[in-house]
Structure 1
Amino acid sequence: MISYSTVTSKAQSSRMLSAWLRCVVFALTVTIMFSVSVVNGDEDFCVMDTFRSNSTWLQFTKELSNQEYVVAQKFKSLHCCAKGYRSIEWYKDGRPYPWPGVVSGFILYPESANQTIYSNSVVQSDSGNYSCLVRNDTDELWHTINVTVMDSAGYSGTPLQMYEPHDLYVKIGDEARLFCEAFVGRIDLPDAYNEVHWKRMEHNGSVKPPERFQVTNKSREDNEILGSHLLIRGVRREDFGQYTCQISNTWFQSVDTSVWLREIVPYHDESQDKTAYKQILLVFAAVILSSLTLVALYLRFGLQVRVIWKDSFCRQETNDGKDYDALVCYDDRDSDFVLGMLVPKLETLYDYRCITHHLGSIHGNFGTEWSAVLKGPAQHSRRLLVVLSPSILHDSWTSAALYEALHALLTIHNKIICIALQPLPKCDPTKNAQGESLSTLLHAVHLVEWRSEGYCVGMGDRSREHKRFWASVRLHLPPHRYSRQAVSLKQELNQMSVATTGSRVNVCTAVGTSKRGTVLTNSHESLEVLV
């Protein structure tokens, strides 16, 4: 005897099995409908009718439409056929995929490697600009398709062009491929038909397909879109010209798409080549000549131009609490050069305010002795100008003595100008425990070399070398704007120099002797000594 509970359990199990079977049938039905939709949407679109190319670089593999039309509530697919790519990204009106339903109902078809997106039933919100970005590791390509959704009642107007062809250039003997495509709609009438054919404009007739010409008509989207390929193998000269693709519908409405097939002519003109070579040589010669001229001008006037620029445009070092432009330090045996020429010229001719200090009585350690006597005056001076010679180093003109002197000076002032009266000794590249060497210290100061050969006051200072010397010294001194008083003073000195030229027989020796032992402190004292 079977109990009531057992019968009830079997009935429930039967109902559950029936519900599960219904779910499976529904899923299969949806899958079949999806497959049919994709088939109707040309799932092999990017595989068929591709360009004949064995290349592997990034490129589109067939003609891609610029405009797409679709009737509302129908299936629609968009394609971005390419190869040699690493990724394909889709955008609608600049917004990246995926899109919410209110933006677009299109989704990716993964089996096409992201080359296709589709919608089983489009709506008005699906209209817009769809762009695909195709790229690999080095390059990228963009293509944009404008989608227009028609009214659900259908379309029976003039065919709408979808692909905009460009003039095609080929060589004789190569293969030419022309393409046209238009949206024609669909009318459910027994005698409804759409057609497409190619014409040669100058021949006033349709293209006859001989063995070299091949016309292939294509349709998609449930025959609402009609297109055609014209393939010409082994192009001859008589094949060049204008071709027109005409697509018409049942109501004898048509759209014409024209494209020119042109020849690529390898053009070689020897006369133009010779002219081009001459122009290249002239340009090359002009560049070399200009470069040499600029180098020569810089070597001749570059230093003076830098000084003029510094004095004219650089910020003046005024109102800094300092009284002097330069503290000039020297040894007693160099007083002829310092007091007889250097300081007077800086003060009278260039209007700098100088203070001098001789170091002849110091014979101890540079670091301690120089710091003790120069620390105070250096604080009131914008530059520390030191005349370097064997005498200031106790007749020890060596790299070790010079290193010790420069090291001591750098502890006193941070802006130092060194005038070397003799060529410097050979630098020792060996660095000390602090990682310093003589070369390092020489880069920290502004070094100017003095050349005394053939120099004479009023005469020798006109030579090029001495002009460069004074320009080098002034370049490292503070920027200075000349006052009217200084200009007037220089004019008076020039007049005095011209008036006394005849009586100055041995001016070089006289000026040096009269200045020995004199310490100049300002421009007025320097002027008195010079006069």
Structure 2
Amino acid sequence: MVSFSSIASKAESSETKTMWVRCIVFTLTITNLFSVPGVSGDEDFCVMDTFHRNSTWLQFTKELSSREYVVEQKFKSLHCCAKGYRSIEWYKNGRPYPWPGEVSGFILYPESANQTIYSKSVVESDAGNYTCLVRNDTDELWHTINVTVMDAAGYSGTPLQMYEPRDLYAETGDEVRLFCEAFVGRIDLPDAHNKVTWRRIAQNSSVNLPERFQVTKKPREDSEILGSHLLIHGVRKEDFGQYTCQISNTWFQSVDTSVWLREIVPYHDEIQEKSAYRQILLVFAVIILSSLTLVALYLRFGLQVRVIWKDSFCKQETNDGKDYDVLICYDDKDSDFVLGVLVPTLETRYDYRCITHSLGSVGGNFGSTWPTVLNGPAQRSRRLLAVLSPSLLHDSWTNIALYQALHTLLTIHSRIICVTLQPLPKCDSAKTAQGENLLPLLHAVSLVEWRPDGYCIGMGDRSRAHKRFWASLRLHLPPYRHSRQALSPKQELNQMSLATTGSGVNACTAIGTSKRGTLLTNSQESLEVLV
């Protein structure tokens, strides 16, 4: 016999079970009412496979497709994965969210912080351009996705590329990843399978990837969309180049996506390179400026420096049995220049011992009797200086006369200096009428041109021209014998300047005292004949 207490306990247990069953049924009902089919599989899309960046600025966190394909009456979600933002706004063909049903059936998924919009059953009117605008207090980003709705019968054509990759730039040692994605559709066959392959393009041929590379498949939307990541840990020099991703479907149809991995120069290297370029340009500028400065200094002081060097370091021509430094021969018409300018300057300013001989009184053709009267003095002189002028050549300033005069002088002395009182005659050919070549004779002697015009002015370019004349003349004379107190190079340059000024005064004075110069010449010649 069953007691009342046992019956009561059984009834209580049955009521408890009934209550638990009712709670479970209610919970499942609530879950079914508020759950979103399909979204649960994509709710973590913007959390998985994000870029490894520890920054907080406004940016997209993973690769975003620019085109999306969906079969009609199926679930579809669009994503705008970002961080560092305060708001995300969605637009379809420029119209802000929310949209009426005839515009689009996509709605926001709040659990993704507005990064995802979805539609449980896509219709043809859902096709179009969807743009997400991501903003913070100072910046904004936007991304557009073109949605294409396929026929409900499915898709079995060539895979459709969805992600358009851009060239990546990295430094050696960085970690990079390449991405490709395509819509392949879905075929309900037992042996149906889709495939993705990465290859490296080297010298117009494809090569397999090294084992240290990692390839991962990324399917979504019930495997109707197939993507893949190529991960490279620790980029090497040989890793830079072109890569190709090939996505194929069951019908052996494929689409290729190419992307370049390029090397970037570190910022500090760019600074060093720019600094190196600046240093090179600076060195070139210094070299050019130095060269121009040296050229200018040489043109201005080159002759003076050469003269100082010659007088200071060249071997002096002493103890050679010579009595004079220079024998000066001239015509009587040039005595004002010779006795009033040339000889006083050489003797008083530069301490050269000079002997003069006038050739104007020598009879016969010019040059024929020169050896007879000049051989004796020439043997006692270290240089023979001839003042060439038309008067010395009997007013025959031609190539033939010059050839005859130079040829005769070279037979008298081996070291000839010719001071020309006017420019040499111009000619079409260097040969004389008899076929004799004048150029070798011009190179065998030392030519110094005198410019008498404006000599008494002693200023500007004319004064500089006469300084060059005296420097050029001294350069061909024997080294300066320091019979007086030795002068420093600076004093030597000052002395040369004074020589020009002083000679100008002597020249101006000699023009008015030519008669006195003639008497001096005659008395000196009489003394030479007596000796």
TM bin (shorter chain): 0.3 to 0.5
Rg larger for: 2
TM-score normalised per structure 2: 0.46
TM-score normalised per structure 1: 0.46
